Amino acid sequence: MFKPSNHLLNKEIKEKKFKNLLSSITFFLFLPALIIIFWLFVKGHSALSWDFLLMDPIEGMTAGGIFPTIIGTFWLVVISVLVACPMGVIAAIYLSEYAKDNKLTRIIRLAILNLAGVPSIVHALFGLGAFVLFMKMGTSILAASLTLAVMNLPVIITSTLESLKAVPQSYREASWNVGASKLQTIRHIVLPNSLPGILTGVVFSVGRSAGETAAILFTGVAFYLPFLPKSVFDQCMALSMHLFTISTQVVGVPDAFPYATALVLILLILSVNSIAVALRSYFRMKRKW
C-alpha cells in the first residue's frame, strides 16, 4: 500500500553506503593497534623469560635482562604519582568547590590546558633547569620524578575535576542543610563519592608516566648503570629509555631483545590501564546516582 518512492530508496542506499564507509574506516584505524601487539608478541616472545625479567643487562646490554629498568621505572612512577596526586586533587577541589566564575579561575583553566599541551621535551628542559640545576638535585630519580609529576598534574586535575563535578549538587546541599561546613561536606560527602573516579584518573596517569621517555631523558635516567639505585638521589635506568637505547644506540643486541622489552613495557601499561578500566566500570555499577 505504501511503497517508498525511488527518491527515498536512493536515500536509503546512500545512507547504507555512508555507514559502511565510516564503519570500515573506524575498523581499519584500530586494526594497527591489534597488529602491533600481535607482532611484538610474535617477535619478542622467544626472549621473554624469568631470566630476562630478573637479570641485569650484561656485556654492554647485548645479553642478560632488564631487571634494573623495571625497578627504575617503578621508582619513577611511584614517586611522581605520590607528588602529583595530592597536588592535583587539591587543585581540583579548589576549582570544583571553591573557585568562583571569575578571571582567576579562567586563567587557572588556561594554565592547566597549556600545561597539558606543553611538549614533553620542554618539560624535560624545565626539569633540567629547575630541579637538576637550580634546586641542585643533580640528575636523580627525584628530579626525574618531579618532572613527570609536573607532566601528570594537568591529567590528574582534569580527571579529578570531572569526578568531583559528577557528584550531584543535591548531595552537597543536603549536607550543608544539616549544618556541615563546606570543608566537612568535601571531606565526608564529596570526596568519598568521587574517590573511585579520582583513583581511575590516577591509575591512568601511572600508565602514562611509565611509558614517558623524553621528560626523564636528561633529568635522571642513565643509559646504563651497573647497580640498582639506593636512594632518590641516585640515577636509575628506565624501561622506556632502555628500549630507545637498545633499539637505536647499541649494536649487537639480539634481535628479539628490543621486541621483548617493548612487549614488557606495553603489557605493563596495558595491565595498569585495565585496572583503571575495571575500576571505572565497577564504580559505574555501584554509583548511587
Partner 1 sequence: MEIKVTESAPLAMEWRQKKKEKPVSEKIIEGMIKTGGVSCIVLIAAILFFILKESYPFLVGAFNFKEFFFSEEWYPASVVKIRYGILALLTGTVLVTVISMLIAVPLGLACAFYISEFCSPKVREIYKILIEFLAAIPSVVWGFIAIMMINPTIIQLFDVPIGLNILNASIILALMSLPLIISVGEDALRAVPETYREAAEALGATKWEVATRILLPAAKNGLMAAALLGVGRALGETMAVLMATGHSIQIPNSIFEPGRTLTATIAAELGESPKGGEHYQALFAIGLVLFCLSFVVNLTADYLIRGRRQ
Q: Which is nearer to partner 1, 230 or 285 (CB)?
A: 285
The neighbouring-strand residues paired with 63 are: 58
The neighbouring-strand residues paired with 221 are: 236
Q: What is the distance between the alpha carbons of residues 266 and 73, in angstroms, rounded to a whole number? A: 13
Residue 236 DSSP one-character state: B
If binding is defined by CB under 8 A, does position 190 make contact with partner 1?
Answer: no
**Binder among 57, 207, 220, 229 for partner 1 (CB under 8 A):** 207
Q: Which is nearer to partner 1, 218 or 230 (CB)?
A: 218
Q: What is the distance between the alpha carbons of residues 52 and 66, in angstroms, rounded to a whole number? A: 6
Binding letters toward partner 1, positions 229-248, x by CB under 8 A: -----------xx-xx--xx
If binding is defined by CB under 8 A, does position 271 make contact with partner 1?
Answer: no
H or E segment to which residue 57 belongs:
strand 57-58
Q: Report in angstroms how near the CB of residue 181 gets to partner 1 at its nearest.
A: 6
Q: CA–CA distance from 78 to each of 16, 81, 127 (Å)?
A: 50, 5, 18
Q: Which is nearer to partner 1, 96 or 230 (CB)?
A: 96
If binding is defined by CB under 8 A, does position 14 make contact with partner 1?
Answer: yes
Q: What is the distance between the alpha carbons of residues 275 and 270, in angstroms, rounded to a whole number? A: 9
If binding is defined by CB under 8 A, does position 107 make contact with partner 1?
Answer: yes
Check: CB of residue 184 under 8 Å from CB of residue 113. no
**Binder among 42, 54, 133, 195 for partner 1 (CB under 8 A):** 133
Q: Which is nearer to partner 1, 60 or 129 (CB)?
A: 129
Q: Report in angstroms how near the CB of residue 96 gets to partner 1 at its nearest.
A: 10
**Binder among 9, 42, 54, 90 for partner 1 (CB under 8 A):** 90
Check: CB of residue 126 under 8 Å from CB of residue 134. no
**Binder among 101, 117, 226, 251 for partner 1 (CB under 8 A):** 117
Check: CB of residue 201 under 8 Å from CB of residue 155. yes
If binding is defined by CB under 8 A, does position 48 make contact with partner 1?
Answer: no
Q: What is the distance between the alpha carbons of residues 60 and 220, in angstroms, rounded to a whole number? A: 20
Hey, which residues between 16 and 35 contact partner 1 (CB under 8 A)?
18-19, 21-23, 25-26, 29-30, 32-33
Q: Which is nearer to partner 1, 63 or 125 (CB)?
A: 125
Q: Which is nearer to partner 1, 75 or 257 (CB)?
A: 257
Q: CA–CA distance from 146 to each of 44, 81, 140, 215 (Å)?
A: 32, 9, 10, 10
Binding letters toward partner 1, positions 140-179, x by CB under 8 A: ----------x--xx--x---------------x--xx-x
Q: What is the distance between the alpha carbons of residues 48 and 104, in angstroms, rounded to a whole number? A: 52
Q: What is the distance between the alpha carbons of residues 121 and 215, in angstroms, rounded to a whole number? A: 6
141 half-sphere exposure, CB direction, 13 A CA radius:
24
**Residue written as cell 575535576?**
161
If binding is defined by CB under 8 A, does position 62 make contact with partner 1?
Answer: no
**Binder among 11, 45, 188, 287 for partner 1 (CB under 8 A):** 11
Q: Which is nearer to partner 1, 207 or 230 (CB)?
A: 207
Q: Which is nearer to partner 1, 141 or 203 (CB)?
A: 203
